[in-house]
Amino acid sequence: MMHRIQGRFALAAAALALALAGGSLGVRAAGHVVLTAEQVERLQRVIEKQGTHIQVPPPVAGALRLEPAQISPSVHQGTYQDEAGVKHGFAALNDGTGYFLFRRKDRNQITAFRTDREFKLLGATQNFQDTRFIAMVPAAAQDALDAEMAGWSHVLSPRGPSMTPLLKPPAAAAPSPAAPAPATGK
């Protein structure tokens, strides 16, 4: 219980810091951070020009209960990397029913989200091994999604950082941003 209170306090403090720094927190729906229509449009334009296509790894798709029509053969994503080196990704589902978001600190720290078109959380998962994912507890998942949305809102804010250097395609040899890196053996 104390951990949840501390987590929510940290989220509120981060939101306040973004607001004081001139960032926009988007719109709040039922107390949760969501992107404005303008922010989504801006992000979609950038993804059209600079985005990359990725295949959602089967363990992630299964944990989020994504249907083949939503993610096959791939999704068109935009990404940015924050100051801490965490990679964040955003893609509209192919059937128009919602969005797929992820954040990846490294191959052992991946969190992925599925939302509807209004950014209501439909599922969240995180890995506990390289390729094994488990559903997140709803309260923790919502807190994590709120933090993720606050980050995207800041990036997409008119006063936020320029998106041009932030949204860049991954290196040709790099693995899919939501997929674990392949094992190397000698």
pLDDT digits (tens, 9 = 90+) for 122-143: 999 998 877 789 999 999 999 9
pLDDT digits (tens, 9 = 90+) for 134-186: 999 999 999 999 999 999 999 988 766 555 444 544 444 334 445 544 444 44
Provide long-range contacts, Cβ within 8 A and 24+ apart, for 33-36: 33/146, 33/149, 33/150, 33/153, 34/118, 34/119, 34/149, 35/119, 35/149, 35/152, 35/153, 35/156, 36/153
List the beta bridge partners of residue 113: 101, 124
What integer pLDDT is reported at residue 164 of this predicted model? 46
Domain boundaries, the chain: 2-166
Half-sphere exposure of 135 (CA within 13 A, CB side): 11
Q: How many helices (H) and strands (E) does the chain have?
A: 6, 9
Neighbours of 23 (CB within 10 A): 21
